[in-house]
Structures are given as structure tokens and as C-alpha cells.
Structure 1
Amino acid sequence: MSIKPPFTDLEIRKAASGFYQGHSLAIAFLSKGIMVALVIWALVWPANANGVLGSLNWALLEGFNAFYIIIVGLFAFFLFIVALLPQTGKRIMGTPGEKPEFSNFSWFSMMFGAGLGVGLMVFATAEPLGLWGSNPVVVAGDVAGNTEAALTSGFRYTFLHYGFHAWAIYVVTGLSLAYYAYTRDMPLTIRSALTPLFGKLMNGFLGHVVDVLGVVATILGVSVTIGFGVSQFIDGLYAITGMEWMMDMTGDAPAPATVGLIAGLLVIMSLSIISAVSGVGRGVKYLSNLNLVLSIILLLTFVVFGSFLFAMTTYASAMVDYILNFISLSFEAYNPQSVEAFSAALPEAAQPHAAALADGARNAWGSYDGFVAGLSGDAAALDEDTLRAAYDAGADQRLFGWQAGWTTFYWAWWIAFSPFVGLFLARISKGRTVREFIIGCVFAPALVCFAWMTILGGTAIDLELTGNAEGAIIGASNTAKLFVTLGQMLEGGLLSAITVMCVVLILTFLVTSADSGILVMNTIMSGGDQEIGNKHKIIWGLILTSVIGALLLAAGENNPLDALRNAMIIGALPFTMVMGLMCVSLAKALFRDQKRDAAASTAAAE
């Protein structure tokens, strides 16, 4: 029985003339309307915007934490199966025999810079250190944080957050878009990925909604990335110049102030718009190559002057531990614990004091000692065994709070980032096989991320374990930990030179991420057209700048990145559902294309 041809007649109505010539008016107006409304809300009613975003974010985490965890695990296993199957893995994303557009070096440089460059600069030291002090094994009370016993579990979750799962999120979107664009000659836009399921419905309003969800997720995902990156950029400038006007000096450690963040944002986004106007063939490619070279120099600095033997030993043991725990890491989701459930789990002597015990015992970011120290009155007079049992009774909520605030935050960040990175990966991967795309974009960069985390983060941990740092690295803000670690390793002119190089590297990573995001947003607006007018690149650059700036101002001085994080997690949820449908759609397309090929071969033989 013959199989009917796939639906490829995707029509995205575009303006024939005027300012929006070649662009979809529906996508442009819906996307810009949402972003302008968010900016006005954050600027006119900042306290309300910050409060509502925070409350809605926590409500969504309580309801959808398990959904985020499980679906990301499914993404990873889906890609493993697609790569392993001979029929699917060997398919070329393009015409038979077509050669890749970019060399392997440039291809890897661009995926590295766009995918996790800023994240690695900020979190290569901060992530292992943070998870060394707090992870589910520590939160459950099985080991003490910031001790040698916590190393294994700390790097287990470090590898989880920056490993195969993270890149699988990007590749689900990228593979879907590349497959339809290059094997079926369809527009390189989000709605193309759902045509095997919805067919001609993607030509109408439903298709517009899918593309708009992609644009909104992209803006919010890129905004968080730039927010963290700008914060580290300001920390680096402070380390070089000592200019205190950029910093908030009132806390335990200096941290970038809102005025510094806004100033840094304006510099970064101005350069990003200039780079975006220059085009992917020049701006992004050359900046990405520069990024990779400077990254290698930074890595070699830690190899020579850091704790390389400690790092490599940690890499090997952490990799084995990560693989052994891969399935549980993929699907073990924690659910919120109600106060009533906590009270019921308390020993009888503690039940009259449930209200006084609840906050400390259920706090994912506290400790048993902190819990006991925070008690007063009759609750503080309870015996040691009762207090220990009360703390254990709050373990479920602590585990949920940790996962929602850490792993689920990362999954939402990578998902919000995936329309940008996925479409960008698709844009630079024409002519590659499906298996090459998955291996090249999941396994290879993940292994590099692991090396970064163990070499940079392992050096920071070793400095703390041996007592050389005396708590200086742990006490620094997340975006300053890299510079504090360098200060513990180096001195004199070499320290100054490497610090300046790091600031340049952060700058180029930020520019690469921002200008790539601008290009991707305009590609979606134009229905997959990669030749985009400069005026639209400039406008979306300004919109992106306004969104980040408004949300930084709304959050205030205490936690200036909070509003960005909350908005991103909220915006990522609808696109997570779209990605789930992408997997179903791609599975159907691959299966039916294989059936068509088999039928064509049979007919030719006859």
C-alpha cells in the first residue's frame, strides 16, 4: 500500500510591501505586543510586576515540577534511540551527497558559543561549588555540604545540569527544524516541526501561536543568559578597575548594582546589534572562533596553575557516577509537601509546635544547625532526637524546593533558550547526518562542559578543601567566583592579563549570544527567510535590550536577576509542551519517510 507524500505546502502569509515586507504581520504584532506590554508593566508598576511574576513562577513550579523533570528525561532517551537506529541515524539533512556548509571547527565553535558559552563562564566555578554545598544528598542529610564526602554528589548534579540532558533539549528543537527544512525544503521556523501532526492547520492561527511561543521563549531565555553574563562582565570590570559605582557594596561581598548592570547591558547590546547587522557568515562565525581560542587559553591557565590532577581524578569518578545514576537523574521528580503532611509526619512530642518547626525544617537552602539555631520558646527546648526527627520530616519539601529552584530552573532556562539555540544549530548544520548532528551537538559539547566544570570548579573546590582560599571563593557572588578563584591561583601581571582576557571572553560570548538571538527571532518573523533586513535586526535588538533592562529595574537592588528568572520559567512552560509534540511529530516523520523509501526501493526493483 502506497503512503501519501508528507505535507509540505506550508504557507506563512507575509506582507507584500511596506515596513514589514517579507515578514508575518500576525507573528510580528503578537510577539512585539507581548514584549511591549511586559516592558510597560515592569517600568510603570515594577513592584507589582516583580511580585506577580514571583508568585506565578512558584505556583507553576509546584504544579509542573515533575512535568519538567520527566519530559527532559524523555528528550534525552528519544535522541539516543534516534541516533542508534540505523534507518534514522544515517539520514542526511539535505539532498543526498550534500556536504556540510561549515568546517567541523567552525561548526563546533558556533554551537559552543551560542549554546553554553556565557553559562560556562558564569557557572564553571559557581556550579560545582554551589552543588558541593547543596544537592539532594546533602539536603536529605546523608552527607555534610562543603566536605570531601559531598564531592561525588556535587559533581553528579553538576554533570546533570550541563550534560547530555541540557544539550538534548537544544537538539530536539534543532533536529526537528533542520530535518524539515533540509529534507522537505520547508521554512526554517518553529511551526514546520509540527506539520506531520497538524498538517495545514499550521498555515493558520495555530501556526502563528506556535511561532509566537518560540519567539517569546527565545527572548526570555536569551534575556536570562545576558543578565547573568552582564553581571559577570561588571564583576570583571570591577576586578580590573576597582570602580565602586558599578557595585553594591552593602552586602557581605560586592555584587553588581542595577546601575552597573544597565550600563553593561547598553554596551553589550550595542555591540550585539552591530554584529547581527554584519550577518552570520562574518560576525557570528568570527566571534565564535575567537571565543573558542580564548576559552582554550583560559582552560590551559587552569591546567597549568590550577589543581589539574585533582580535576582529572574528579572527572573520571564523576563520569562513572553520572552514568550509573543516569536513569534516576532523568526521571526522579520530587513533589511539594503540604504543611499538613509535614505535621502528620512529626513525632508526637513535636506536633504541638508544628507551626514553629515548619519553616526551618522544610527550607531547602538551610541546614540542620541553622534549623535548630532559628528556633525559640518551647520548640527550642525539644530534645535532640525530637528535633532531628522533625528535621527529617521536612525532607520531602526540602528536596522539592531544591529541585524546583535548581534543576527545574535549569531545564526551564535551556527550554526557553532552545528555540534560539535549536534554530541556530539547524541553520549551521545543513548537510550533516541525523546521527552526526546528535553526536556532535549532544555528546561532544557535553564532554567539553564536563571538562570545564571539573577543571575550573575542581580547582576552586580544591583551594577551599585545602584551606588556601579560606572561604573567599564560597563567599563570593556566583558571577564573581571565577575572578576570586583566579586571584587565589595567580598574582601580578599574569593575573591582570588573564582577568582582562576573561572580560573580553565574556564580552564576545555575550555579543555572540545576543546577535544570534536577534537573527533567530527575525528568521521566525520572516517565516524562515534567512536574508533579513537590518532595520528589523536593530528593532529586535532594541526590544531585547528593553525587556532585560525593564525586568532588571523591576527586581530592584536586592536580587536584580529575579524578575528575569521568573519571567523565563513562566514563558518556558508553553514551549515545553510544544517540544513534547515535536518529538512525537519527528518520530512520525522519520518512520513514514523510511516506509516511503522502502516502498520506492521495492517499486524500482520491480
Structure 2
Amino acid sequence: MREWIGPLSIRGHDMRQFDQHDDTRISETAALVIGRAPLWNISDPLQINTVQRGVYEGFNLVVSVCAKLLVVCMVIFLVMLPDVSARLLELLKTATLTVFASWYVYVLALILLSCFVIACLPVSKRLRLGPDGVLPEHSTKSWLAMMFCAGIGIGTLAFAVSEPVSHFLINPDILAGTMETGGAAAVSSAMRFVYLHYGFSAWATYAIVGLALGLACHRHGQPMTMRSGLVAILGKRLEGSAGHVIDVISILAVIAGITTTIVIGLEQICSGLSMLTGSRFFADNSGNPPLIALFTALVVLTAVAIASIVSGVERGVKWVSQLGFVLFFTVLAVFVVFGGGVRVLGVLADGTVTYLKSVAVHATTIYDPKISAASSAQRDWQGDWTIFYWAWWIAFAPFVGMFVAQISRGRTLREFILGTMIAPAFMCFIWFAGTGGTALMLELDGTAAGAILSAEHAYRLYETVDIMLSPGVAAVFKAVLVLLFLILIVASASAAIIAIKSIGAGGSKLAETPFHSILWAFVIAANAGAIMAVGGVASIRDVMIVSALPSSMILALMLVSVCVGIFKESRGFPRLRFPSIPS
């Protein structure tokens, strides 16, 4: 039998007309009782103003123009005042690491912990990214494959050998004197830190953005743009300047992330071409790529990226991504078959177990330089590696998070979190065990004879190929690696530009003209070129650490928004209950 609310009349509003479970009407009446306007319904889509005609038709003028102007102004500043820019960048990096290193570590740790807690909540088993009862749009197999493709980037290839070898030579355990470099135990330690950087913490940043956007957009019909992820806590305020600021910061973060990807990829391409051709055009006497080579590669890359975008998502970006995926696993297979063999399984198992045992400790560790010289060295290592990676993942979170949200409609919260965090992380573990683990095995058994350890980081991948394969086959395979670097850069840049346009258009799909894609390609290329001209490839770490700071604060707010949204969903908040009488 229907239960009716008891006879209660306040300020002329007869409450017996409302059903006890009619949340919206009760909330509106309650708002009138306390003298406020009716509460805003989260399912009312944000009204984001867009231009109706002209060059910026379909775009929000404030977000699109402000983002472009800020990047262009920075490029002009870098080019006009290179010495001042270099000193300022160094000061900003030092200040950021001094003041905010703990913030980076703890905010990522909090996001990681929160994701696991949310996945364990009973409500996460039934609450879906979409209306109740909606089914997933993609099969689980296809969904997980797309999820991993979203995370495949330059870092996984460029640091495939370089990072495990670097941590094999120096890491916090070695700096503390608890472990010696060069032994079998150092392999486990090295892989543990590699897995820390590519494990659950990295994917949790994507998961929290995807979760915030998935709940807001798929379940409540909000536009697919970054500001929508905060709708549970900021509501209609996001239609104005607050929302514009969030979207502009997100665009700048994506640009910083893709610039880092481009610069690291260009260095690897030039290093590979130097080994293939022996030409000094691609490497100076110290083995570093000169600016002229980097700029030439940047021009070629920009042209290919524009061609990929202009040709359309289906024919261009999708084709490039699929080819990159095939080549990616071809590289892994070659390393395992011709290099590490079954020993890779031991590296994988040992590294995974040690990572799982230590992730809670390492994800929350802050090294204090005041304690000892070893702690100071550990703090420097943490800034160069862990903080850099946390900043990189935060910068990529807007566009990777938007992508995983788009493909996850119909998934329960538990499915989404576990699928986003665990499956791709373990695929990264397999990748680094097969590539970096192979390089370390070749050094330990004496096959490499120190060639990989002594090589510059940009050449370690190619040196490993030379050791594994015969000269002729190695030359072909190195050419494939150079091609794969180019493909990954183009795919990442194309996806980033699509995400930037989507944010600039307030989530609208109407702004499909190629003009803005081409314009953004040139803006990003100019930004990458200016940074390389000022500080070289090494400066990109400093840029990443500084530029990701504002975006990290948005991620923290998104975590709050997700928690508030889930609480409202699970408790029916806001709801007023009045005494009932039997009918």
C-alpha cells in the first residue's frame, strides 16, 4: 500500500500532496521552507555557451581563445627571452619540488586508495555509468583492449629498456646502502620501481577522471568535457567562469603532456636514425641529437599528424592506432623470443610480487633531504623519476580519462575501476618484464658485456636490439622501432588534439572543422620547438613537473565530486522525511 506523508502545511504548502519518495518535489518545497531557490537537479545539462557562426562556430570562445593565447604567449616568451626563460623554469621546478613534492605524492596515493575503497563499496556493484539497467556498449575483451591502447604511449617504448637499466644502476634502495648495484637482487628492486611508475597509481589518475565524467555524462546527461566532472559539487557555477578556468587548465595540461611525449619521442627517433645511418646530422659528438635534427623531425611529425587528423578519425587516427598496437606487441614478442626467453617469466613474477608488497609504502614515501646525504640523493631521484611520472600522468588524465569514460557506458563502478586500473597495469608489467627484463638478463649472463649499461639512455633500446639480433635483422628491426615511435607520437598527438577540441567545444560534437585541428597542431609543435630551443630535451621534465600542478588540484576536486556523487546516488540525497500516518 502506498505510504503518504502526514498532514503538514508550512507557509501555505500542503505537504500531503507529495509522495515520500518524490525527492525532487520534496527538495523544492524544502528549499522554499528555508527561503532559498529550489535545488538544482544534477541531471539538468550544463548550458555552455558556444559561438553560432564564424571561425569558432560550435566552440566556447573564452576557453578556446584563452587556451591558445596562453600557449602562444609562453612560446613568444621562450623564444624572445631564452636565458631568462631557462632560469625561470629552473626556479619554478625547484620551488615546485620543494613545496609541492609531498602534494604530488599524497594526492596520487589518496586517489589510488579511494579508487580501491569505492570498488569495494556495495553500491559500486549495482551503480552504472549510465541509466539503471543499461548494458555495456562493448564486449569485455574489446573494452579491455581499448583501455590498454589508451595507455600505450611513448613512455612505454622510450623507457622500455632505459628505465629498468637506470633503476638497476641507481634507485633509493641502492642510495640507502641496503642493496648493491649490479646483482640479481637489484633486478627485483629495479622492476619494483618501474612497476610503481606504471602501475596502479598511474591508472588511478585515469580512473578517477573517467569515473567523474562517466557518472556525470552517461548517468546524468552532462556534456563530455572536463568541467562536468565537478558538477556534483559545483553545479550551475560551472556554466560560468569557474567552468571556463577548469577547461582551460585541462587543455594546458594536455598540451604539456603531449609536448613531453613529442620531445621524448623525437629524441628516440633521432637516436635510432643515428644508429641506422651513422650520420652526424642526427647526433653530435656526445651522442645527443642537435637542434636542427630535432626540428627537422618535428616538421615531419607535424605534417604526418595533420594528415592523420584531416583524413578523419576512422581512416586516419584509428588506422594509425591499430598499426601501432600490432607493432607494439611485435616488439614485445621479438624481445621475449630472441632475448629473455622463459627468464622473463621470473622477472615478471618477482617484480610483480615485490611491487604488490611495497606499493603502499612507496606510494606514500617522501624522502627528507635534511636527514642525511643519502636521503638528499633519494629526494633528487624521486623528483627526476616519481614526481615527473606523477605529473605526466596527471597531465594526460583529461584526455585519457575522457576516452575511457566514453567507451565505458553501461559498466558498473566496480567493473570500471578494476578494468581501468588492474588490467592495463598488468599489461604494462608484462611489457617491461619482456623488454627491460630482457636487457637486464643479457647483462647478468654476460652477453651484453656492459654495452647496455654504458649506453646513453636514448640508445639503450637500440643497443639491446643489436645484441639480440644479427646485424642485418637488427637494422630492419631498428627501422621498425623508429617507425613505431613516429606512429605512437602521431596517434597520441591526434588523440590529444581531438580531446582539446572537445573540451573547447564544451563537449559538443558539432565542431568538426579541420581548421582548429591544424591550428592546434601548429601551436603544439611551436611549443615543443620553443622548449627544446631553450633547454633542450632535458628541460622537458622541468616543464612537466611545473605545469601539471594546477591540473593536480582539479583531480583532487574530482575525487571529492565522485565521492559526493556516489553518496547522493546511494542515499537519495537530498531527501526530507516527515512523520507518516497509516492510511
TM norm. shorter chain > 0.5: yes
Indicate whether 1:514 and 2:493 are aligned.
yes
SS at match of 2:329: helix
Following superposition, the deviation at residue 474 of structure 1 comes to: 1.7
Matches of 1:397 and 1:195 in 2, distance apart?
42
Find 1:396's aligned residue among 372, 375, 382: 375
Which residue in 2 is equivalent to 1:447?
426
Indicate whether 1:87 and 2:67 are aligned.
no
Find 1:573's aligned residue among 549, 559, 574: 549
**Alignment map for 1:16-95 (pairs within 5 Å):** 16-95=52-131
Following superposition, the deviation at residue 84 of structure 1 comes to: 2.4
Matches of 1:572 and 1:289 in 2, distance apart?
29
Which residue in 1 is equivalent to 2:450?
471
Question: Greater share of helix residues, 1 or 2?
Answer: 1
Following superposition, the deviation at residue 243 of structure 1 comes to: 2.6
Which residue in 1 is equivalent to 2:508?
529
Indicate whether 1:146 and 2:175 are aligned.
no
Following superposition, the deviation at residue 98 of structure 1 comes to: 4.1
Return the letter of the residue paired with 1:149: A
Matches of 2:191 and 2:390 in 1, distance apart?
17
Return the letter of the residue paired with 1:140: A
Q: Is the 8 A contact 1:109 1:288 kept in 2?
A: no
Following superposition, the deviation at residue 421 of structure 1 comes to: 1.3
Find 1:436's aligned residue among 409, 415, 421: 415
Matches of 1:326 and 1:91 in 2, distance apart?
28
Find 2:355's aligned residue among 322, 331, 338: 322
Return the letter of the residue paired with 2:530: A
Q: Deviations over 1:92-122 (max 9, x none)?
A: 3234454544555654454434423211110
Find 1:132's aligned residue among 147, 163, 168: 168
Following superposition, the deviation at residue 7 of structure 1 comes to: 5.7
Matches of 2:143 and 2:441 in 1, distance apart?
34
More displaced, 580-589 or 5-14?
A: 5-14
Q: List runs of 5+ in structure 1 lacking aligned partners.
A: 343-392
Q: Is the 8 A contact 2:388 2:544 kept in 1?
A: no
Q: After the TM superposition, which parts of structure 1 deviate over 6 Å for at least 4 consecutive aligned residues?
A: 597-600
Relative to structure 1, the CA distance from residue 542 to residue 129 in structure 2 (aligned partners, 3 Å threshold; closer, same or farther) is: same
Relative to structure 1, the CA distance from residue 284 to residue 598 in structure 2 (aligned partners, 3 Å threshold; closer, same or farther) is: farther
Q: Deviations over 1:316-359 (max 9, x none)?
A: 1111111111210121112342xxxx7xxxxxxxxxxxxxxxxx
Relative to structure 1, the CA distance from residue 50 to residue 504 in structure 2 (aligned partners, 3 Å threshold; closer, same or farther) is: same
Matches of 2:424 and 2:279 in 1, distance apart?
36
Which residue in 2 is equivalent to 1:499?
478
Q: Deviations over 1:181-236 (max 9, x none)?
A: 11111111111111111112111111111111101110001110111112112222
Which residue in 1 is equivalent to 2:243?
207
Find 2:309's aligned residue among 276, 279, 282: 276
**Alignment map for 1:28-427 (pairs within 5 Å):** 28-102=64-138, 107-248=143-284, 250-251=285-286, 254-337=287-370, 393-427=372-406
Following superposition, the deviation at residue 432 of structure 1 comes to: 3.0
SS at match of 1:62: helix
SS at match of 1:247: coil
Following superposition, the deviation at residue 310 of structure 1 comes to: 2.3
Matches of 1:89 and 1:545 in 2, distance apart?
44
Which residue in 2 is equivalent to 1:374?
none
Following superposition, the deviation at residue 440 of structure 1 comes to: 2.3
SS at match of 1:219: helix
Return the letter of the residue paired with 1:306: G
Return the letter of the residue paired with 2:325: L
TM-score by length of 1: 0.85
Return the letter of the residue paired with 2:422: F
More displaced, 160-169 or 74-83?
A: 74-83
Which residue in 2 is equivalent to 1:357?
none
Relative to structure 1, the CA distance from residue 103 to residue 236 in structure 2 (aligned partners, 3 Å threshold; closer, same or farther) is: farther
Which residue in 2 is equivalent to 1:553?
533
Which residue in 2 is equivalent to 1:538?
518
Following superposition, the deviation at residue 79 of structure 1 comes to: 1.1
More displaced, 463-472 or 222-231?
A: 463-472
Matches of 1:519 and 1:38 in 2, distance apart?
22
Q: Deviations over 1:111-139 (max 9, x none)?
A: 43442321111011111111111111111
Following superposition, the deviation at residue 570 of structure 1 comes to: 1.1
SS at match of 2:381: helix
Return the letter of the residue paired with 2:564: K
Following superposition, the deviation at residue 36 of structure 1 comes to: 0.5
Return the letter of the residue paired with 1:595: R
Which residue in 1 is equivalent to 2:34?
none
Q: Is the 8 A contact 1:110 1:289 kept in 2?
A: no
Following superposition, the deviation at residue 498 of structure 1 comes to: 1.9
SS at match of 1:71: helix
Matches of 1:451 and 1:269 in 2, distance apart?
32
SS at match of 1:15: coil
Following superposition, the deviation at residue 282 of structure 1 comes to: 3.8
Which residue in 2 is equivalent to 1:348?
none
Matches of 2:138 and 2:262 in 1, distance apart?
26
Following superposition, the deviation at residue 60 of structure 1 comes to: 0.7
Following superposition, the deviation at residue 413 of structure 1 comes to: 1.0
Return the letter of the residue paired with 1:567: V
Following superposition, the deviation at residue 468 of structure 1 comes to: 2.2
Q: Is the 8 A contact 1:62 1:335 kept in 2?
A: no
SS at match of 1:306: helix
Return the letter of the residue paired with 2:480: M
**Alignment map for 1:590-601 (pairs within 5 Å):** 590-596=566-572
Which residue in 1 is equivalent to 2:9?
none
Return the letter of the residue paired with 1:538: I
More displaced, 59-68 or 141-150?
A: 141-150
Matches of 1:110 and 1:257 in 2, distance apart?
36
Matches of 2:472 and 2:574 in 1, distance apart?
66
Identity, in percent, stands at 36
Matches of 1:313 and 1:148 in 2, distance apart?
11
Matches of 1:543 and 1:102 in 2, distance apart?
35
Return the letter of the residue paired with 1:10: L
Matches of 2:275 and 2:144 in 1, distance apart?
31
Following superposition, the deviation at residue 425 of structure 1 comes to: 2.0
More displaced, 234-243 or 191-200?
A: 234-243
Matches of 2:296 and 2:262 in 1, distance apart?
13
Q: Is the 8 A contact 1:106 1:285 kept in 2?
A: no
Q: List runs of 5+ in structure 2 lacking aligned partners.
A: 1-19, 28-40
SS at match of 2:47: coil
